[in-house]
Amino acid sequence: MTFVGSAASAAQFPQDGLPEVAFLGRSNVGKSSLLNALSGTRNLARVSSTPGRTRLLNFFRVGDLDAKPDDAFYFVDLPGYGYARVPEAMRREWESLVSAYLVGREPLALCVFLVDLRHDPSEGDETLRAYLDHYRLQYVVAATKADKLGRGEAMKRRDALARGIGRNAVGVVAVSAEDGAGLAELWKTIRAAVPSTKGKA
């Protein structure tokens, strides 16, 4: 995985038409960590100790650099929502940037919608789900930080999410960037949505 660039507006989104997989979820849920873990890169997508720091869309090219161009695709790290200390003007900026990306973005093949496995979905999570459903975007729910729960509890909470916020998703996967749980299953879903890829990272 290689960092390609950041975008602060639609004019800066890639123009090459390669498929895109977007990572969405509230601030601090683990988007950048999951992206790094999936691609086996340590800390390429910046993991923040200060929530709410990622303010841009970051594009990472995934796939063998020597591969045919049509085997490659992008991971897109989107800024998180729901950080309490973000001023209203900044929140609106977030909304307009994220909707500029999500609505009518032709190369967007799949959204990875991250929620924290340990907590009930937040109001922001519910808003995002309604939004994804409204625009008929295909998404998989990745329930993060599974390593912080025991196996039984993790399965119970995953099932609850599958009946709840993930009911319209193509799948609900409990994942951990820490110990790698669920990553193979998530890759399967990503590969199915981006058929041209061989899933190389």
The contact set with ligand GTP (CB under 6 A) reads 25, 27-33, 47-49, 51-54, 80, 144-145, 147-148, 176-178
For 71-84, b/e burial (b = at least 16 CB within 10 A) is bbbbbbbbbbbbbe
Given ligand GTP, Mg ion, none, residue 176, with its beta carbon under 5 to 8 Å by kind, binds ligand GTP
Closest CA to 33 of 22, 46, 21: 46
Q: Should residue 36 be labelled a site residue for Mg ion when binding is judged by CB under 5 A? A: no
Ramachandran category for residue 79: left, alpha or beta (phi over 0 → left; psi -120 to 50 → alpha):
beta
Min separation Cβ 196 and ligand GTP, Å: 27
Instruction: Report helix, strand or coil for 124.
Output: helix
- Cβ proximity to Mg ion: between 54 and 144 the closer is 54
54 is a site residue for Mg ion (CB under 5 A): yes
Helix (H) or strand (E) holding 163: helix 151-163
| Cβ 182 vs Cβ 189: under 8 Å | no
> Cα–Cα distance between 125 and 120 in angstroms, integer?
9
Shortest reach from residue 200's CB to ligand GTP, in Å: 22
- Of residues 31 and 129, the one with the C-beta less far from Mg ion: 31
Per CB under 5 A, which region of 9-17, 50-58, 85-93, 116-124 contacts Mg ion? 50-58
Q: Which of residues 5-34 bind Mg ion (CB under 5 A)?
A: 31-32
- The one of ligand GTP, Mg ion, none whose footprint includes residue 166, by CB under 5 to 8 A per kind, is none
Closest residue to bound ligand GTP by CB: 80
> In terms of CB distance, is 31 or 158 closer to Mg ion?
31
Instruction: Find which of Mg ion, ligand GTP, none residue 145 binds, CB within 5 to 8 Å per kind.
Output: ligand GTP
3-state SS assignment for residue 16? coil
C-beta closer to ligand GTP: residue 15 or 50: 50
Dihedral over Cα of 3, 186, 83, 94: its sign: positive
Using CB atoms within 10 Å of the CB of residue 3, give its burial: 0 to 12 exposed, 13 to 18 middle, 19+ buried. Answer: middle
Binding site for Mg ion (CB under 5 A): 31-32, 54
